[in-house]
Amino acid sequence: MEKMNLFNVDNLVLMKGLPDESIDLIYCDILYGTGRNFGEYQDLKPVRNIIEHHYLPRIREMHRLLKKTGSIYIHCDWHINHWVRLILDEVFGYERCVNEIVWCYTGPGVNSQKNYSRKHDNLYLYSKSSNYTFNTNDIKIPAAEDTLKKFEGAGSGFKGKKANLANGKLLEDWWYLAPTARFKNETGLYPTQKSIQLLERVVKASSNEGDTVADFYLGSGTTAVVCKKLNRSFIGCDINKNAVEVTARRLRSF
């Protein structure tokens, strides 16, 4: 039976009280460094020393908490992703970067005449060691009919290996998924809420049933909901009391 543990506390305080190598997967939709006030929370200013002061001790704790087979996804965007990547490289090691995933989406935005419309987020996947959980078969997607026909009876593929797409194909490192606002039963619970569809990919790929998943920037609690759905235990926290209450309501109604 999975355990759902929610805490209304500063995440650094909570993490310091948790035992070493006790978590299988960490996903955090972090503060993006926009400097904005979202009503529920005040975002950090996009100033390098502010970002490093906040994230460096927290990423170090996350590294300590992960099991040897564990991995971490840090979800951010263009505002501070370059600084976040440097922090992850410093703590986990450059060689432990597994993927930079780009989540692409569409929708209304600022109608600027001076830049391209900003419609993607970055998810950095790092592992604790070279022996990390990655469930390839759980995240395969059906290959299009024309793609299957193209590769049927084809010659050798990449490095002499023939492509076998009959059981689906592995996801690329760019994900075209609808934003949460398109899912009417999910939206409106919390600012910057992420969708169940997005988190299902993360949890299925990098954890197994019975594992413990953590989200130390709880927000709307989508990670917790997905863990309950997929039979994972969960530990999460947010400094904002309403985030914990929203998450608790979602878990009770799931």
**Please, how many CA atoms are within 13 Å of residue 171, restricted to the half-sphere of its CB?**
22
Q: Name residues whose C-beta falls within 8 Å of residue 218's C-beta, 6 or more positions apart in sequence.
A: 6, 224, 236, 237, 238, 243, 244, 247
CATH numbers and ranges of domains, the chain: 4-133+172-253 (3.40.50.150)
Q: Name residues whose C-beta falls within 8 Å of residue 18's C-beta, 6 or more positions apart in sequence.
A: 65, 235
- Helix-strand-coil split of the chain, %, nearest 5: 35, 20, 45
- DSSP at 96: G
Q: Name residues whose C-beta falls within 8 Å of residue 109's C-beta, 6 or more positions apart in sequence.
A: 117, 118, 119
- 193-221 tens-digit pLDDT: 999 999 999 999 999 999 999 999 999 99
* Alpha carbons 231 and 228: distance in angstroms, whole number: 5
The residues that bridge with 214 in the sheet, in sequence order, are 26, 235
pLDDT one digit per residue (tens) for the chain, 254 residues: 679 999 999 999 999 999 999 999 999 999 999 999 999 999 999 999 999 999 999 999 999 999 999 999 999 999 999 999 999 999 999 999 999 999 999 877 677 889 999 999 999 999 999 999 999 999 988 876 665 666 665 555 555 555 566 678 889 999 999 877 666 666 678 888 999 999 999 999 999 999 999 999 999 999 999 999 999 999 999 999 999 999 999 999 87
User: pTM, whole model, 2 decimals?
Assistant: 0.91
